[in-house]
Amino acid sequence: MTAPTLDDVLAKDAADPLRSFRNRFIIGDGADDPVAYLDGNSLGRLPKATAERLRDVVEREWGSRLIRSWADGWLGLPERVGDLVGSAVLGAAPGQVVVADSTTVNIAKAVHAAATLRPDRRVLVADPTDFPTDRYLVESVADQRGLKVGWLADGAGALDTVLDRGLDRGLGDNAAAVLLSAVDYRTAAFADVPAITAVVHEAGAVMVWDLSHAAGSVPLLLDADEVDLAVGCTYKYLNAGPGAPAYLYAARRHHERLDNALPGWIGADDVFAMADRYVPAPGIRRMLSGSPYVLGLVAVEEGVGLVAEAGIEQVRAKGIALTELLVALADDWLASYGVEVASPRDPERRGAHVVLRHPDAHRIDHELAARGVIGDYRNPDLWRLGLSPLTTSYEEVWLAMQATREWFAGP
């Protein structure tokens, strides 16, 4: 198949039903803005509305209203923004999501809570190739609770193994909880969330999903799929900014037995009682710990609001189209230089980033960045290119692959 021309991709941009959203983000036209920003799966662009909202929060809500703003609405932000995240990108009914803390803290909370739901079981199950934080935390929680870690089969086929054989090697009978990523941070492989959740439940374990590379890029139906707990960050496809607070989902059916390993005053039943003994709040609020991070929460609200307005199905459709374009160009222009597509070929089983494998991936990433093509590198030989549907244009993808082909061709 002949690779699309620049005119072809410009026509796709002109016909893009989401094209107006790009104008609602800060995208410079000077030397500092890249030719192609393909790292939205690490840090999304800044929405213009977020900059305006933060200015109002700082100057009016904090500057003028001062402590009165807690009663005006700040205290309810974790649940209010959580409900928006739930409805816009998680497929979750109200009252099951809070936004607070970091992804790391929320994973620790979720895994602890999952283990508490199965007190008679002694194994936490994880993927040995998952994101480092997930692996570190499973080991840490296991150590703290006197449990063992059961690693799934090595390699990229670990989740397929779960579907084929269930929780094998004796893990199933003693597994308390399973922590997996819905979209693989390296390859963009999109897990079969409902099928794997069902296998885990059949084994009697609690399912915890890390949705960091999934929420805002692929449709999720946590309630319908009977997921138990889930966590994820907001600074990737949800465009909430660096260090923005993460979200934690817990299915309503677990709330009465939900245990927070980091109890704090904001998660207490009566926040201002200053009671001698901790009594957890009813519902999802019990998973909160410290005071809400107001600036981060309003940034999440603005970023997620744009995804909600666009609609996750349209976002997914464009994500597939963008990744298909990148794969086609990589096959046509870069395969002869030894570049291999390391992401799934089936677009339905791929998230919104594409990974290219090459022995010189680190140098490619560094030197292409100097030419204005921003992606990122993952050990040992992966160049990862994130395509954020609300902000990435088809032209950017074409220009990135053209610059890469020119780099390989040399002077």
Delimit the domains of the chain by residue range: 6-46+311-409, 73-309
Only one residue has tokens 């410290």, namely: 290
Region 73-309: CATH code: 3.40.640.10
Which pLDDT band holds residue 205 (cuts at 50, 70, 90)?
very high
Question: pLDDT per residue over 243-259, tens digit each?
Answer: 999 999 999 999 999 99
33: confidence class by pLDDT, cuts 50, 70, 90: confident
- For 156, counting Cβ atoms within 10 Å of its Cβ (0-12 exposed, 13-18 middle, 19+ buried), the class is middle
* pLDDT band, residue 153 (cuts 50/70/90): confident
The class that CATH gives domain 6-46+311-409 is: alpha beta
Q: Which residues are catalytic?
A: 131, 210, 235-236, 384
Fold match between 6-46+311-409 and 73-309? no
Which has more confidence, 29 or 139?
139
Instruction: Give the predicted TM-score (pTM) of the model.
Output: 0.95
Instruction: Please state, for a pLDDT cut of 70, what percent of the chain lies above it.
Output: 95
Query: Are 236 and 40 a contacting pair, CB within 8 Å?
Result: yes
Q: How far apart are CA 216 and CA 308, in angstroms?
A: 9
Question: What is the arithmetic mean of pLDDT over 51-61?
Answer: 97
For residues 340 and 352, what is the distance between their CA atoms, to the nearest angstrom? Answer: 17
pLDDT tens per residue across span 295-329: 999 999 999 999 999 999 999 999 999 999 999 99
Radius of gyration of the chain (CA): 22
Give pLDDT, residue 313: 97
pLDDT digits (tens, 9 = 90+) for 85-96: 999 999 999 999
